[in-house]
Amino acid sequence: KAGVTQTPRYLIKTRGQQVTLSCSPISGHRSVSWYQQTPGQGLQFLFEYFSETQRNKGNFPGRFSGRQFSNSRSEMNVSTLELGDSALYLCASSLEIGLAGGDEQFFGPGTRLTVL
Amino acid sequence: AQSVAQPEDQVNVAEGNPLTVKCTYSVSGNPYLFWYVQYPNRGLQFLLKYITGDNLVKGSYGFEAEFNKSQTSFHLKKPSALVSDSALYFCAVRASGNNFNKFYFGSGTKLNVKP
């Protein structure tokens, strides 16, 4: 099976612009989560989607949003970009056939966003 | 509140020596515990997990971890370190019970294995 794919791999934007990142989960995986990784803050949870519904949300401002499509593919959007949004954005998917929550997440390679 | 702590930002070990990367957690109820590794400019790769059963779990690349409920710890270990093990390691926890519980990740520990 193909792994989690993220596009684009690299992005350069300027302050005030908006950006959309895309994630394709492993085939059959129903949950998709997004994380922001920075050297100073580590791995910060953004949100999680399951069956097109946002199931969990982290502590990020409303400029950060996401959605999941019926084929489980997900997008996240950041509007009015700030310099501090420069980071590696990681997408992760998990199978979750059962309901107990023990499935591990599989991560994509990330999208490196640089805001100038 | 649920959280994960990795008390060491960096661990240095000589090749061939045993290594330990520490992780402690706080979660309501029973935990599901995970270890991931990240190589430079890559996403995180799953190493191993504890769900239930035997407290010692074995994973990829010769790594293992021991779940200690009384100490709320899940330390990652390897009997003999390799230079290629040098990477960033993350511990994660999720409260068991249902899929609505979030994953919580530690801040990461950089492992340096010197030849």
Q: Count of alpha carbons within 13 Å of A77, Cβ hemisphere only?
A: 10
Q: What is the percentage of chain A residues whose pLDDT exceeds 90? A: 80
> How distant, in Å, are the alpha carbons of A68, B63, B65, B111 from that of B81?
41, 10, 14, 10
What is the average pLDDT value for chain A, to the nearest integer?
92
What is the rounded CA–CA span in Å between residue A113 and residue B11? Answer: 29
Using the predicted structure, report yes or no on whether residue A65 has a pLDDT greater than 90.
yes
Q: Which of A90, A99, A106 sits opposite B99 (nearest CB)?
A: A99
Q: Which residues of chain B have pLDDT under 70?
A: 98-100
> How distant, in Å, are the alpha carbons of A80, B2, B112 from that of A65?
12, 24, 37
Q: Which pLDDT does position A74 carry in this prediction?
A: 97
Q: pLDDT per residue over A38-52, tens digit each?
A: 987 788 999 999 989
Residue A98's pLDDT band, with cuts at 50, 70 and 90, is low
Mutate to test the interface with A, among B50, B67, B103, B109 (most CBs of A within 10 A): B103
Q: Do A45 and B46 touch (CB under 8 A)?
A: no
Which residues have a Cβ under 8 Å from the Cβ of A48 and sit 6 or more positions away?
A: A31, A32, A33, A34, A54, A55, A56, A57, B102
What is the average pLDDT value for chain B, to the nearest integer?
93
Q: Which of A4, A31, A42 sits opposite B99 (nearest CB)?
A: A31
Q: Which pLDDT does position A78 carry in this prediction?
A: 98
What is the rounded CA–CA span in Å between residue A89 and residue A38? Answer: 9
Q: Is B100 on the interface with A (CB under 8 A)?
A: yes
Measured in degrees and rounded to the nearest 5, phi and psi for residue B77 equal: -140, 155
What is the rounded CA–CA span in Å between residue A21 and residue A46? Answer: 13
Residue A96's pLDDT band, with cuts at 50, 70 and 90, is confident
What secondary structure, in 3-state letters, does chain B show? CCEEECCCCEEEEECCCCEEECCEEECCCCEEEEEEEECCCCCEEEEEEECCCCCEEECHHHCEEEEECCCCEEEEEECCCCHHHCEEEEEEEEECCCCCCCEEECCCEEEEEEC
Chain B CB contacts of A104 under 8 Å are 34, 46, 49
Q: pLDDT per residue over B87-104, tens digit each?
A: 999 999 988 876 667 889
**If you average pLDDT over residues A76-94, what whole number do you get?**
96
A84 DSSP assignment: G
Cα Rg, chain A, nearest whole Å: 14
Q: Please, what is the Cα angle at B66 between A48 and B62, to 5 degrees?
A: 90
Please name the amino acid found at residue A78: V
Using the predicted structure, report yes or no on whether residue A33 has a pLDDT greater than 70.
yes
Q: Is B95 on the interface with A (CB under 8 A)?
A: yes
Chain A interface residues facing chain B, Cβ-Cβ under 8 Å? 4, 31, 33, 35, 42-43, 45, 48, 50, 55-56, 58, 90, 92, 96, 99-102, 104-110
Q: Do B99 and A109 touch (CB under 8 A)?
A: no
Chain B CB contacts of A106 under 8 Å are 46
> How distant, in Å, are the alpha carbons of B6, B13, B27, B34, B66 from that of B1?
16, 33, 7, 18, 23
Residue A112's pLDDT band, with cuts at 50, 70 and 90, is very high
Chain B CB contacts of A100 under 8 Å are 96-99
